[in-house]
Amino acid sequence: HKVFKGNRPTNSIVVKKVTPFVLGALIAMYEHKIFTQGVIWDINSFDQWGVELGKQLAKAIEPELQDKSPVSSHDGSTNGLINFLKANFA
């Protein structure tokens, strides 16, 4: 069951400037979303294997964000988001 096939719907929030207010709002929104889902599904949302997988994936993607060339090594959704960020926030 520990398979992420990729290219699934995601929520991507992009802002032009991260202010203390924007950062606080984003953190609060995600904490509330994750907590609420955990209550509904009767799981501990803050102790899941997907969190560790996300950390590993982020470490692998971080160097690609520093490189200016387009990426194509991930699923379509991830490639699209990385390439959008590179084109608009470089």
State pLDDT tens for residues 58-67: 898 999 988 8
Domains held by the chain: number: 2
pLDDT in tens, 7-64: 887 888 888 899 999 999 999 998 999 999 999 999 888 777 777 888 888 898 999 9
Q: Which residues contact 89 (CB under 8 A, 6 or more apart)?
A: 14
Q: Residue 55 sits in a domain of what CATH number?
A: 1.10.1390.10
Task: Report yes or no on whether pTM surpasses 0.85.
Answer: no
Residue pointed to by tokens 């470490």: 59
* 32 token code pair: 């509330």
pLDDT at 4: 74
Q: Which amino acid is at 48?
A: Q
Reference 57, options 76, 74, 34; nearest CA is: 74
Whether the predicted pLDDT of 2 surpasses 80: no
Asked if residue 65 belongs to a domain, the reply is yes
One domain for residues 23 and 38: yes
Whether the predicted pLDDT of 1 surpasses 70: no
